[in-house]
Structure 1
Protein backbone atom coordinates (compact mmCIF):
# COMPACT_ATOMS: atom_id res chain seq x y z
CA UNK A 1 0.00 0.00 0.00
CA UNK A 2 1.26 3.46 -0.93
CA UNK A 3 0.45 6.65 0.96
CA UNK A 4 0.23 10.19 -0.39
CA UNK A 5 -0.02 13.14 2.01
CA UNK A 6 -2.33 15.97 0.95
CA UNK A 7 -3.21 19.31 2.46
CA UNK A 8 -6.26 17.77 4.13
CA UNK A 9 -4.98 14.34 5.09
CA UNK A 10 -3.86 11.20 3.31
CA UNK A 11 -4.71 9.08 0.30
CA UNK A 12 -3.78 5.40 0.34
CA UNK A 13 -3.84 3.31 -2.81
CA UNK A 14 -3.05 -0.31 -3.56
CA UNK A 15 -0.29 -1.73 -5.73
CA UNK A 16 -2.93 -2.85 -8.25
CA UNK A 17 -4.12 0.73 -8.80
CA UNK A 18 -2.78 2.08 -12.08
CA UNK A 19 -3.20 5.75 -11.25
CA UNK A 20 -2.70 8.10 -8.33
CA UNK A 21 -5.86 9.77 -7.10
CA UNK A 22 -6.49 13.24 -5.75
CA UNK A 23 -8.93 14.32 -3.00
CA UNK A 24 -11.50 15.49 -5.55
CA UNK A 25 -11.68 11.95 -6.95
CA UNK A 26 -13.50 10.94 -3.77
CA UNK A 27 -16.19 13.61 -4.13
CA UNK A 28 -19.35 12.49 -5.90
CA UNK A 29 -19.81 16.02 -7.28
CA UNK A 30 -16.63 15.64 -9.34
CA UNK A 31 -17.99 12.49 -10.97
CA UNK A 32 -21.32 14.19 -11.60
CA UNK A 33 -19.53 16.99 -13.45
CA UNK A 34 -17.87 14.38 -15.66
CA UNK A 35 -21.22 12.65 -16.32
CA UNK A 36 -19.47 9.55 -15.03
CA UNK A 37 -22.01 8.27 -12.50
CA UNK A 38 -23.49 5.05 -13.88
CA UNK A 39 -25.53 3.85 -10.91
CA UNK A 40 -26.14 3.92 -7.21
CA UNK A 41 -27.12 1.65 -4.35
CA UNK A 42 -29.38 3.03 -1.66
CA UNK A 43 -29.37 1.66 1.84
CA UNK A 44 -29.11 3.83 4.92
CA UNK A 45 -26.89 6.02 2.74
CA UNK A 46 -26.06 6.07 -0.97
CA UNK A 47 -23.14 4.24 -2.56
CA UNK A 48 -22.14 5.49 -6.00
CA UNK A 49 -21.02 3.59 -9.09
CA UNK A 50 -18.69 5.63 -11.30
CA UNK A 51 -17.00 5.03 -14.64
CA UNK A 52 -13.34 5.95 -15.08
CA UNK A 53 -12.32 7.89 -18.18
CA UNK A 54 -9.40 5.66 -19.09
CA UNK A 55 -10.16 5.04 -22.77
CA UNK A 56 -7.81 2.05 -22.95
CA UNK A 57 -9.46 0.11 -20.15
CA UNK A 58 -12.34 1.98 -18.48
CA UNK A 59 -13.44 0.54 -15.17
CA UNK A 60 -16.50 0.82 -12.97
CA UNK A 61 -15.70 1.75 -9.39
CA UNK A 62 -17.74 1.84 -6.22
CA UNK A 63 -17.36 5.04 -4.17
CA UNK A 64 -18.47 4.86 -0.54
CA UNK A 65 -18.33 7.48 2.20
CA UNK A 66 -18.07 6.36 5.82
CA UNK A 67 -21.16 7.29 7.79
CA UNK A 68 -21.84 6.72 11.45
CA UNK A 69 -24.74 4.63 12.71
CA UNK A 70 -26.51 4.00 15.98
CA UNK A 71 -26.45 6.50 18.82
CA UNK A 72 -23.21 8.12 17.63
CA UNK A 73 -24.96 9.26 14.46
CA UNK A 74 -26.88 11.79 16.57
CA UNK A 75 -23.61 13.41 17.64
CA UNK A 76 -21.89 13.33 14.25
CA UNK A 77 -22.92 11.84 10.94
CA UNK A 78 -19.42 11.12 9.62
CA UNK A 79 -16.67 12.32 12.00
CA UNK A 80 -14.39 9.79 13.71
CA UNK A 81 -11.67 10.25 16.31
CA UNK A 82 -8.22 10.14 14.65
CA UNK A 83 -5.79 7.77 16.42
CA UNK A 84 -3.40 7.14 13.53
CA UNK A 85 -3.74 6.54 9.81
CA UNK A 86 -3.59 2.74 10.01
CA UNK A 87 -6.47 2.80 12.52
CA UNK A 88 -8.83 4.81 10.34
CA UNK A 89 -11.75 2.78 9.07
CA UNK A 90 -10.95 3.43 5.42
CA UNK A 91 -7.27 2.47 5.50
CA UNK A 92 -7.94 -0.53 7.74
CA UNK A 93 -10.59 -1.82 5.34
CA UNK A 94 -8.37 -1.15 2.32
CA UNK A 95 -5.53 -3.11 3.96
CA UNK A 96 -7.72 -6.16 4.61
CA UNK A 97 -9.05 -6.08 1.06
CA UNK A 98 -5.56 -5.77 -0.40
CA UNK A 99 -4.31 -8.75 1.62
CA UNK A 100 -7.27 -10.95 0.68
CA UNK A 101 -7.26 -9.89 -2.97
CA UNK A 102 -3.54 -10.65 -3.32
CA UNK A 103 -4.14 -14.07 -1.73
CA UNK A 104 -6.85 -14.89 -4.26
CA UNK A 105 -9.94 -14.55 -2.09
CA UNK A 106 -13.24 -13.58 -3.67
CA UNK A 107 -13.33 -9.88 -2.75
CA UNK A 108 -13.57 -6.79 -4.95
CA UNK A 109 -10.29 -5.33 -6.15
CA UNK A 110 -9.36 -2.50 -3.77
CA UNK A 111 -8.47 0.83 -5.37
CA UNK A 112 -7.86 3.59 -2.82
CA UNK A 113 -8.94 5.27 0.41
CA UNK A 114 -9.14 8.93 1.39
CA UNK A 115 -8.76 10.28 4.94
CA UNK A 116 -9.37 13.98 5.60
CA UNK A 117 -8.33 15.29 9.01
CA UNK A 118 -9.71 18.27 10.90
CA UNK A 119 -8.35 18.70 14.40
CA UNK A 120 -8.76 15.50 16.39
CA UNK A 121 -11.22 14.08 13.88
CA UNK A 122 -11.33 12.66 10.37
CA UNK A 123 -13.75 11.80 7.59
CA UNK A 124 -13.08 9.03 5.09
CA UNK A 125 -14.02 7.42 1.77
CA UNK A 126 -13.07 4.23 -0.02
CA UNK A 127 -13.06 3.18 -3.68
CA UNK A 128 -13.21 -0.44 -4.80
CA UNK A 129 -13.76 -1.99 -8.20
CA UNK A 130 -17.31 -3.04 -9.04
CA UNK A 131 -17.76 -6.81 -9.45
CA UNK A 132 -19.13 -7.03 -12.98
CA UNK A 133 -22.52 -8.68 -13.40
CA UNK A 134 -23.05 -9.11 -9.68
CA UNK A 135 -26.16 -9.00 -7.51
CA UNK A 136 -26.33 -9.22 -3.76
CA UNK A 137 -28.12 -12.31 -2.47
CA UNK A 138 -31.28 -10.46 -1.47
CA UNK A 139 -31.63 -8.97 -4.95
CA UNK A 140 -30.91 -12.36 -6.54
CA UNK A 141 -33.21 -14.43 -4.31
CA UNK A 142 -36.11 -12.04 -4.84
CA UNK A 143 -36.41 -13.28 -8.40
CA UNK A 144 -34.54 -16.55 -8.69
CA UNK A 145 -33.73 -19.47 -6.35
CA UNK A 146 -30.24 -20.87 -5.90
CA UNK A 147 -29.55 -24.53 -6.47
CA UNK A 148 -28.46 -26.88 -3.69
CA UNK A 149 -24.99 -26.87 -5.23
CA UNK A 150 -24.88 -23.07 -4.99
CA UNK A 151 -25.91 -23.06 -1.33
CA UNK A 152 -23.22 -25.68 -0.67
CA UNK A 153 -20.65 -23.56 -2.51
CA UNK A 154 -21.65 -20.51 -0.49
CA UNK A 155 -20.99 -22.45 2.71
CA UNK A 156 -17.58 -23.54 1.41
CA UNK A 157 -16.72 -19.95 0.47
CA UNK A 158 -17.53 -18.58 3.92
CA UNK A 159 -15.60 -21.41 5.59
CA UNK A 160 -12.48 -20.58 3.58
CA UNK A 161 -12.62 -16.99 4.78
CA UNK A 162 -13.08 -18.18 8.36
CA UNK A 163 -10.14 -20.59 8.15
CA UNK A 164 -7.99 -17.64 7.02
CA UNK A 165 -9.11 -15.81 10.15
CA UNK A 166 -11.32 -13.29 8.36
CA UNK A 167 -13.81 -11.83 10.79
CA UNK A 168 -16.54 -9.98 8.89
CA UNK A 169 -18.20 -7.52 11.26
CA UNK A 170 -21.44 -7.42 9.26
CA UNK A 171 -21.87 -10.74 7.47
CA UNK A 172 -25.36 -10.46 6.01
CA UNK A 173 -27.17 -11.44 2.83
CA UNK A 174 -26.64 -8.01 1.24
CA UNK A 175 -22.88 -8.18 1.79
CA UNK A 176 -22.57 -11.33 -0.31
CA UNK A 177 -22.52 -10.99 -4.10
CA UNK A 178 -23.17 -13.65 -6.71
CA UNK A 179 -21.52 -13.14 -10.07
CA UNK A 180 -21.04 -15.74 -12.80
CA UNK A 181 -21.44 -18.62 -10.37
CA UNK A 182 -18.98 -17.22 -7.82
CA UNK A 183 -19.66 -15.72 -4.39
CA UNK A 184 -17.89 -12.56 -3.19
CA UNK A 185 -17.84 -10.97 0.25
CA UNK A 186 -17.97 -7.17 0.39
CA UNK A 187 -17.97 -4.37 2.98
CA UNK A 188 -15.14 -5.20 5.37
CA UNK A 189 -15.61 -2.07 7.47
CA UNK A 190 -14.55 -2.94 11.06
CA UNK A 191 -13.44 -6.36 9.86
CA UNK A 192 -10.33 -8.06 11.22
CA UNK A 193 -7.81 -10.76 10.51
CA UNK A 194 -7.72 -12.75 13.73
CA UNK A 195 -6.98 -16.19 15.12
CA UNK A 196 -9.62 -18.67 13.89
CA UNK A 197 -11.93 -19.69 16.73
CA UNK A 198 -15.22 -21.55 16.73
CA UNK A 199 -16.91 -18.93 18.94
CA UNK A 200 -16.70 -15.96 16.58
CA UNK A 201 -17.11 -18.15 13.51
CA UNK A 202 -20.40 -19.53 14.84
CA UNK A 203 -21.52 -16.02 15.79
CA UNK A 204 -20.74 -14.89 12.23
CA UNK A 205 -22.90 -17.67 10.81
CA UNK A 206 -25.75 -16.86 13.18
CA UNK A 207 -25.59 -13.23 12.11
CA UNK A 208 -25.95 -14.33 8.50
CA UNK A 209 -28.92 -16.57 9.37
CA UNK A 210 -30.65 -13.71 11.19
CA UNK A 211 -30.20 -11.50 8.14
CA UNK A 212 -31.85 -14.07 5.87
CA UNK A 213 -34.78 -14.36 8.29
CA UNK A 214 -35.05 -10.59 8.53
CA UNK A 215 -35.19 -10.21 4.75
CA UNK A 216 -37.69 -13.06 4.50
CA UNK A 217 -39.96 -11.30 6.99
CA UNK A 218 -39.92 -8.21 4.79
CA UNK A 219 -40.26 -10.12 1.51
CA UNK A 220 -42.26 -13.33 1.66
CA UNK A 221 -41.24 -14.29 -1.89
CA UNK A 222 -37.54 -14.46 -0.96
CA UNK A 223 -36.21 -17.84 -2.06
CA UNK A 224 -34.85 -18.97 1.30
CA UNK A 225 -35.84 -21.70 3.74
CA UNK A 226 -34.33 -23.93 6.41
CA UNK A 227 -33.35 -26.57 3.86
CA UNK A 228 -31.25 -23.99 2.03
CA UNK A 229 -29.53 -23.07 5.29
CA UNK A 230 -28.76 -26.71 6.09
CA UNK A 231 -27.20 -27.10 2.66
CA UNK A 232 -25.05 -24.03 3.34
CA UNK A 233 -23.94 -25.56 6.64
CA UNK A 234 -23.01 -28.81 4.90
CA UNK A 235 -20.76 -26.91 2.53
CA UNK A 236 -19.26 -24.94 5.42
CA UNK A 237 -18.55 -28.01 7.53
CA UNK A 238 -16.94 -29.82 4.60
CA UNK A 239 -14.18 -27.19 4.78
CA UNK A 240 -14.27 -26.10 8.41
CA UNK A 241 -15.91 -28.74 10.67
CA UNK A 242 -16.42 -26.61 13.80
Structure 2
Protein backbone atom coordinates (compact mmCIF):
# COMPACT_ATOMS: atom_id res chain seq x y z
CA UNK A 1 0.00 0.00 0.00
CA UNK A 2 1.18 3.51 -0.83
CA UNK A 3 0.01 6.83 0.61
CA UNK A 4 0.15 10.30 -0.90
CA UNK A 5 -0.79 13.72 0.45
CA UNK A 6 -3.49 15.71 -1.32
CA UNK A 7 -4.70 19.29 -0.81
CA UNK A 8 -7.59 17.83 1.17
CA UNK A 9 -5.83 15.12 3.15
CA UNK A 10 -4.46 11.73 2.07
CA UNK A 11 -5.10 8.95 -0.41
CA UNK A 12 -3.89 5.38 0.06
CA UNK A 13 -3.95 2.82 -2.72
CA UNK A 14 -3.12 -0.84 -3.30
CA UNK A 15 -4.22 -1.38 -6.89
CA UNK A 16 -1.72 0.08 -9.44
CA UNK A 17 -4.57 1.35 -11.62
CA UNK A 18 -5.56 3.65 -8.74
CA UNK A 19 -2.16 5.35 -8.44
CA UNK A 20 -3.45 8.52 -10.08
CA UNK A 21 -6.87 8.59 -8.42
CA UNK A 22 -7.98 12.01 -7.16
CA UNK A 23 -10.07 12.98 -4.12
CA UNK A 24 -12.94 13.93 -6.47
CA UNK A 25 -13.18 10.33 -7.66
CA UNK A 26 -14.27 9.25 -4.19
CA UNK A 27 -17.50 11.19 -4.74
CA UNK A 28 -20.27 9.57 -6.75
CA UNK A 29 -20.97 12.90 -8.47
CA UNK A 30 -18.04 12.68 -10.86
CA UNK A 31 -18.95 9.11 -11.83
CA UNK A 32 -22.55 10.12 -12.45
CA UNK A 33 -21.38 12.98 -14.68
CA UNK A 34 -19.53 10.39 -16.78
CA UNK A 35 -22.47 7.96 -16.84
CA UNK A 36 -20.16 5.49 -15.10
CA UNK A 37 -22.46 4.45 -12.22
CA UNK A 38 -23.58 0.90 -13.03
CA UNK A 39 -25.44 0.00 -9.86
CA UNK A 40 -25.95 0.58 -6.18
CA UNK A 41 -26.64 -1.25 -2.96
CA UNK A 42 -29.03 0.40 -0.55
CA UNK A 43 -28.97 -0.47 3.12
CA UNK A 44 -28.62 2.04 5.92
CA UNK A 45 -26.64 4.07 3.41
CA UNK A 46 -25.99 3.75 -0.33
CA UNK A 47 -22.95 2.02 -1.77
CA UNK A 48 -22.18 2.74 -5.43
CA UNK A 49 -20.85 0.49 -8.20
CA UNK A 50 -18.80 2.40 -10.77
CA UNK A 51 -17.13 1.41 -14.04
CA UNK A 52 -13.62 2.73 -14.67
CA UNK A 53 -12.10 3.63 -18.02
CA UNK A 54 -10.13 0.37 -17.79
CA UNK A 55 -13.42 -1.57 -17.55
CA UNK A 56 -12.92 -2.47 -13.91
CA UNK A 57 -15.96 -2.24 -11.64
CA UNK A 58 -15.32 -0.69 -8.27
CA UNK A 59 -17.45 -0.38 -5.14
CA UNK A 60 -17.43 3.10 -3.59
CA UNK A 61 -18.44 3.44 0.06
CA UNK A 62 -18.46 6.45 2.39
CA UNK A 63 -17.98 5.98 6.14
CA UNK A 64 -21.07 6.96 8.11
CA UNK A 65 -21.63 6.85 11.84
CA UNK A 66 -24.46 4.75 13.19
CA UNK A 67 -26.52 4.65 16.36
CA UNK A 68 -27.27 7.65 18.52
CA UNK A 69 -23.94 9.32 17.74
CA UNK A 70 -24.84 9.27 14.05
CA UNK A 71 -27.88 11.43 14.71
CA UNK A 72 -25.58 14.21 15.91
CA UNK A 73 -22.37 13.55 13.97
CA UNK A 74 -23.07 11.83 10.65
CA UNK A 75 -19.60 11.15 9.27
CA UNK A 76 -16.78 12.91 11.16
CA UNK A 77 -14.15 10.99 13.13
CA UNK A 78 -11.37 12.19 15.45
CA UNK A 79 -8.02 12.12 13.64
CA UNK A 80 -5.15 10.33 15.43
CA UNK A 81 -2.99 9.51 12.41
CA UNK A 82 -3.50 8.36 8.85
CA UNK A 83 -2.98 4.66 9.57
CA UNK A 84 -5.55 4.78 12.38
CA UNK A 85 -8.31 6.17 10.18
CA UNK A 86 -11.20 3.80 9.48
CA UNK A 87 -10.60 3.75 5.74
CA UNK A 88 -6.84 3.17 5.73
CA UNK A 89 -7.08 0.60 8.53
CA UNK A 90 -9.71 -1.35 6.55
CA UNK A 91 -7.72 -1.04 3.32
CA UNK A 92 -4.59 -2.32 5.09
CA UNK A 93 -6.44 -5.29 6.56
CA UNK A 94 -8.01 -6.16 3.20
CA UNK A 95 -4.62 -6.00 1.51
CA UNK A 96 -3.18 -8.42 4.07
CA UNK A 97 -6.12 -10.81 3.78
CA UNK A 98 -6.15 -10.70 -0.02
CA UNK A 99 -2.41 -11.42 -0.18
CA UNK A 100 -2.88 -14.36 2.18
CA UNK A 101 -5.58 -15.87 -0.03
CA UNK A 102 -8.64 -15.17 2.07
CA UNK A 103 -11.95 -14.78 0.23
CA UNK A 104 -12.29 -10.98 0.35
CA UNK A 105 -12.72 -8.37 -2.39
CA UNK A 106 -9.51 -6.90 -3.77
CA UNK A 107 -8.69 -3.57 -2.07
CA UNK A 108 -8.32 -0.58 -4.38
CA UNK A 109 -7.93 2.76 -2.55
CA UNK A 110 -9.02 4.92 0.38
CA UNK A 111 -9.49 8.65 0.80
CA UNK A 112 -9.19 10.69 3.99
CA UNK A 113 -10.33 14.32 4.02
CA UNK A 114 -9.00 16.40 6.91
CA UNK A 115 -10.86 19.20 8.69
CA UNK A 116 -8.89 20.33 11.74
CA UNK A 117 -8.99 17.57 14.36
CA UNK A 118 -11.56 15.60 12.37
CA UNK A 119 -11.68 13.60 9.18
CA UNK A 120 -14.13 12.04 6.77
CA UNK A 121 -13.32 8.95 4.75
CA UNK A 122 -14.19 6.77 1.78
CA UNK A 123 -13.01 3.41 0.48
CA UNK A 124 -13.01 1.72 -2.92
CA UNK A 125 -12.85 -2.04 -3.29
CA UNK A 126 -13.29 -4.52 -6.11
CA UNK A 127 -16.81 -5.43 -7.17
CA UNK A 128 -17.13 -9.22 -7.07
CA UNK A 129 -18.77 -10.11 -10.38
CA UNK A 130 -22.12 -11.85 -10.11
CA UNK A 131 -22.20 -11.69 -6.33
CA UNK A 132 -25.33 -11.50 -4.17
CA UNK A 133 -25.33 -10.97 -0.44
CA UNK A 134 -26.64 -14.00 1.40
CA UNK A 135 -29.93 -12.38 2.39
CA UNK A 136 -30.66 -11.48 -1.25
CA UNK A 137 -29.69 -15.00 -2.30
CA UNK A 138 -31.83 -16.76 0.32
CA UNK A 139 -34.81 -14.56 -0.42
CA UNK A 140 -34.79 -15.97 -3.97
CA UNK A 141 -33.48 -19.52 -3.66
CA UNK A 142 -32.10 -21.79 -0.97
CA UNK A 143 -28.51 -22.94 -0.96
CA UNK A 144 -27.61 -26.59 -0.47
CA UNK A 145 -26.61 -28.30 2.77
CA UNK A 146 -23.14 -28.68 1.27
CA UNK A 147 -22.93 -24.93 0.68
CA UNK A 148 -23.93 -24.22 4.28
CA UNK A 149 -21.20 -26.65 5.35
CA UNK A 150 -18.67 -24.89 3.10
CA UNK A 151 -19.69 -21.49 4.46
CA UNK A 152 -18.94 -22.75 7.96
CA UNK A 153 -15.52 -23.87 6.79
CA UNK A 154 -14.82 -20.46 5.24
CA UNK A 155 -15.66 -18.65 8.47
CA UNK A 156 -13.56 -21.11 10.48
CA UNK A 157 -10.53 -20.45 8.28
CA UNK A 158 -10.85 -16.72 8.93
CA UNK A 159 -11.08 -17.40 12.66
CA UNK A 160 -8.08 -19.74 12.66
CA UNK A 161 -6.14 -16.96 10.98
CA UNK A 162 -7.11 -14.61 13.81
CA UNK A 163 -9.35 -12.54 11.54
CA UNK A 164 -11.94 -10.70 13.61
CA UNK A 165 -14.90 -9.32 11.68
CA UNK A 166 -16.59 -6.61 13.74
CA UNK A 167 -19.96 -6.98 12.01
CA UNK A 168 -20.31 -10.57 10.81
CA UNK A 169 -23.87 -10.68 9.54
CA UNK A 170 -25.76 -12.32 6.68
CA UNK A 171 -25.54 -9.22 4.46
CA UNK A 172 -21.76 -9.12 4.80
CA UNK A 173 -21.43 -12.55 3.20
CA UNK A 174 -21.43 -12.70 -0.59
CA UNK A 175 -22.01 -15.73 -2.79
CA UNK A 176 -20.53 -15.58 -6.30
CA UNK A 177 -20.15 -18.60 -8.57
CA UNK A 178 -20.16 -21.07 -5.66
CA UNK A 179 -17.59 -19.04 -3.69
CA UNK A 180 -18.34 -17.27 -0.40
CA UNK A 181 -16.70 -13.91 0.34
CA UNK A 182 -16.71 -11.83 3.52
CA UNK A 183 -17.02 -8.06 3.05
CA UNK A 184 -17.08 -4.84 5.12
CA UNK A 185 -14.07 -5.15 7.41
CA UNK A 186 -14.54 -1.73 9.02
CA UNK A 187 -13.14 -2.01 12.57
CA UNK A 188 -11.92 -5.53 11.79
CA UNK A 189 -8.48 -6.66 12.92
CA UNK A 190 -6.06 -9.55 13.28
CA UNK A 191 -6.30 -10.96 16.80
CA UNK A 192 -4.88 -13.86 18.73
CA UNK A 193 -7.30 -16.73 18.00
CA UNK A 194 -9.56 -17.26 20.99
CA UNK A 195 -12.73 -19.33 21.39
CA UNK A 196 -14.55 -16.52 23.19
CA UNK A 197 -14.51 -13.91 20.43
CA UNK A 198 -14.92 -16.60 17.79
CA UNK A 199 -18.08 -17.88 19.49
CA UNK A 200 -19.32 -14.31 19.92
CA UNK A 201 -18.80 -13.80 16.17
CA UNK A 202 -20.90 -16.89 15.40
CA UNK A 203 -23.59 -15.80 17.86
CA UNK A 204 -23.78 -12.43 16.10
CA UNK A 205 -24.17 -14.16 12.75
CA UNK A 206 -26.96 -16.38 14.06
CA UNK A 207 -28.82 -13.35 15.45
CA UNK A 208 -28.50 -11.76 12.04
CA UNK A 209 -30.02 -14.76 10.27
CA UNK A 210 -32.86 -14.93 12.78
CA UNK A 211 -33.50 -11.19 12.43
CA UNK A 212 -33.65 -11.41 8.63
CA UNK A 213 -35.88 -14.49 8.84
CA UNK A 214 -38.20 -12.53 11.12
CA UNK A 215 -38.44 -9.82 8.46
CA UNK A 216 -38.89 -12.35 5.65
CA UNK A 217 -40.58 -15.55 6.89
CA UNK A 218 -39.99 -17.16 3.48
CA UNK A 219 -36.22 -16.64 3.73
CA UNK A 220 -34.52 -20.00 3.11
CA UNK A 221 -32.96 -20.31 6.56
CA UNK A 222 -33.69 -22.86 9.26
CA UNK A 223 -32.15 -24.59 12.26
CA UNK A 224 -30.93 -27.31 9.90
CA UNK A 225 -29.10 -24.72 7.79
CA UNK A 226 -27.38 -23.36 10.88
CA UNK A 227 -26.43 -26.86 12.03
CA UNK A 228 -24.83 -27.57 8.65
CA UNK A 229 -22.85 -24.32 8.97
CA UNK A 230 -21.69 -25.31 12.46
CA UNK A 231 -20.71 -28.79 11.31
CA UNK A 232 -18.58 -27.25 8.56
CA UNK A 233 -17.07 -24.78 11.01
CA UNK A 234 -16.18 -27.48 13.55
CA UNK A 235 -14.60 -29.64 10.86
CA UNK A 236 -11.92 -26.91 10.60
CA UNK A 237 -11.98 -25.23 14.01
CA UNK A 238 -13.56 -27.28 16.84
CA UNK A 239 -15.13 -24.98 19.45
The question of a shared fold, defined as TM-score above 0.5 by the shorter chain, is answered with: yes
Does the 8 Å contact 2:18/2:108 carry over to 1?
no
**Structure 1 residue 82 displacement after superposition:** 0.2
CA distance in 2, matches of 1:74, 1:41: 22
Instruction: Summarize the alignment of residues 58-77 of structure 1 with structure 2, pairs less than 5 Å apart.
Output: 58-77=55-74
**Structure 1 residue 71 displacement after superposition:** 1.4
1:118-161, Cα deviation, whole Å (9 max, x unpaired): 00000000000100000000000011111110000000000000
CA distance in 2, matches of 1:166, 1:44: 25
1:122 aligns to 2:119 (yes or no): yes
Deviates more, 1:68-77 or 1:223-232: 68-77
**Structure 1 residue 197 displacement after superposition:** 0.2
CA distance in 2, matches of 1:205, 1:149: 19
Partner of 2:49: 49
Partner of 1:2: 2
Does the 8 Å contact 2:65/2:75 carry over to 1?
yes
**Structure 1 residue 18 displacement after superposition:** 2.1
1:92-137, Cα deviation, whole Å (9 max, x unpaired): 0000000000111100000000000000000000000100000000
The TM-score, its normalising length taken from structure 1, stands at 0.97
1:199 aligns to 2:196 (yes or no): yes
Instruction: Summarize the alignment of residues 65-214 of structure 1 with structure 2, pairs less than 5 Å apart.
Output: 65-214=62-211
CA distance in 1, matches of 2:73, 2:16: 32
1:76-96, Cα deviation, whole Å (9 max, x unpaired): 100000011111000000000
CA distance in 2, matches of 1:122, 1:137: 32
Computed over aligned residues only, the root mean square deviation of the Cα atoms, in angstroms, reads 0.6
CA distance in 2, matches of 1:42, 1:143: 18
Residue ranges of structure 2 left out of the alignment (5+ in a row): none
Partner of 1:105, secondary structure, is: coil
Partner of 1:18, secondary structure, is: helix
CA distance in 1, matches of 2:126, 2:225: 30
1:13 aligns to 2:10 (yes or no): no
